[in-house]
Structure 1
């Protein structure tokens, strides 16, 4: 795992200069904790926002819809992960519990209305880069079906040519999904709305604090930019 890094390609920064991404490294993760109190606090904040504003009208979601439109995708057909979570949460009143890390990231995503992804680093080769697909990458669904992202699609790609997410923040791959045996994970959150810089800084602080409370770890964190696009770990 030496030399592993995460970054956004310069072409992504060029086309989306308003992007604010943050990354955290979570090590010594286990599936044992049940951090229900922490998760419920984030969910309560999401409930309060949704009580006055539908998910599709939140500025964080509207920003992602504009990005999806720019990528040639219908934003009501292909939704960013945070909008999908918010819509399900608004309809059902809760989200299914999967793994404490996934549950935490989902809850934070609900509270901040931005996509928060967690990748099992055991399944990532060399690096993880948000870039435009060439068209020869392999994406593995949760049902273990292999797909080829189209050339020009924004993906999370590693050094072995695997796409760990399709359509930017729309679909994460089953290949690097968090599982019971996950011990080391990269967490990525991205915002494009006007207050993203402040909101993502708060998100990072709260998420890091939650990771410390749940797993007694001190996760390295970073806010990325076009001039400092790379997170080495």
Structure 2
């Protein structure tokens, strides 16, 4: 890994931590819904995040870097610079829509993704709450895409940064003005869109899969007609959240 790559990763880390801190403070200053679950819930999500953060330098980043260095050499020269970066972001955002959708439609993948959905309230901490198995599976799927499509490592890092920033925003409990949120929702995923995805009604859970740009659900006809209400039940239909250790073993239980 060269110095430029290391610097890019450092900038990514600083930007993400700053965005987390900003949203964490903002959603307490201007909350959309009354908080539920208290600090116990936040700490639970933070523990899962810390575990996954340890995987990033050990597995996730090396796998993506290896894939970029072994990508198929079909990419034309004109697909470089700013044009290439924009094209990569749009393409990767469409593909992550489908990966997210598959996590709901394939039972094996849902076993891991369900850990994210069992959170019974949404705020910025929800955006970083994932099972380590899902993180590893996602890294493998991303590596295949990088190799087949010849995605440069720089595009991968920029896209991953945008994904995390977007996820932190649309999971947040931040109160936005109705007109502002409606305007943003035409282009990007906002809390009013993504909260429906976490509604504890399976028909809504299996909708609104987009991550950065909101139009993918319209294009692929997966946008829910349900409107967010601040009283709506968050989580998995018929299930309740669990403590950290049960969540870790949840995908491997024999009775699932």
Q: TM-score of the superposition, structure 2-length normalised?
A: 0.29
Higher relative contact order (CA 8 A, sep 6+): 1
Name the structure with the higher strand share: 1
Name the structure with the higher helix share: 2
Larger radius of gyration: 2
